[in-house]
Amino acid sequence: GGMPMAAAPSPADLPTSTHRLTEAEALAVLETFVREEASADRFSGAVLVAKDGGVLFSKAYGLADRERETPNTVPTRFRIGSMNKMFTAVAIMQLVEAGKVDLKAPLGTYLTDYPNREIAEQVTIHQLLTHTGGTGDIFGPEFEAHREELRTLADYVELYGERGPEFDPGSQWVYSNYGFILLGAVIEAVTGQSYYDYVREHIYEPAGMTRTGSLPEVKEVPDRAVGYMDLSGGTDWQPNTETLPYRGTSAGGGYSTVGDFARFADALLNHELLNPDSTDLLITGKEEIEP
């Protein structure tokens, strides 16, 4: 599920700024707004609001599978796209705390046989985390041609590892999915574990996230919603199955639930995943992005 947030108009019944909403009023406005969006088929998914670890509101709307008419529920697993990146960033910071990764070190410190020497020697872990390394994307013609064969992080590195940087590392901010594939490869190199095992053991399990993962699309995952896209402007929803990678990666494509996301936020802010300094570093904005 999901909708472009820019497309969401302000609810007409939102009181003016002279009156600060009570919690109950704010939740009532939210509920009305989401219900209207869902009934107009502009939103399908689950909504959860939590405060200080307590859930104030959680409801699901629309269908997880339109063909089978399976309704969304609060525990429905939705594909979370690039939200995997935040798990990858937490994992890297855990390894920084453990003394296994240095944010200032170049990529080649950890991926010693990385094919493109320029990237290996010049792009730092910090630059990968902040999308300033010039490492480019994974989507495009090569991805389309090899979508089904790209099964491990190493497969992506093999396909894109010869490419040089798109710009002088550190000189610009350009969102890079491939940069987060490389961070996943670093996690694998320094831990000797697969990316998936590492984040499960060191992030999902400690946070109590039992419904989050990145199992391949061919695996049966209970309660995993079908993703839909509409290329016609609101009337013709088609499954996005043919666009999905073989499985989610350190750059995105896993699945989770609103409850697990709340547990993740809670564990992070309570310093159960990282120490206070690392947590602050993680959640503080880094780059001034020109509009």
Q: pLDDT tens, position by position, for the chain (291 residues)?
A: 444 444 445 555 555 556 789 999 999 999 999 999 999 999 999 999 999 989 999 999 999 999 999 999 999 999 999 999 999 999 999 999 999 999 999 999 999 999 999 999 999 999 999 999 999 999 999 999 999 899 999 999 999 999 999 999 999 999 999 999 999 999 999 999 999 999 999 999 999 999 999 999 999 999 999 999 987 776 788 999 888 999 999 999 999 999 999 999 999 999 999 999 999 999 988 766 554
Q: How far is CA 182 from the centre of its chain?
A: 15
The 8-class DSSP code of residue 240 comes to -
**What would the pLDDT profile of 60-82 be if each residue is shown by its tens digit?**
999 999 999 999 999 999 999 99
d(CA 227, CA 129): 27
Q: What is the model's pLDDT at position 231?
A: 79
Is residue 116 within 8 A of residue 163, CB to CB? The reply is yes
d(CA 38, CA 57): 16
Distances (CA, A) of 175 to 236, 265, 279, 282, 285: 30, 23, 22, 17, 15
Q: What is the model's pLDDT at position 3?
A: 42
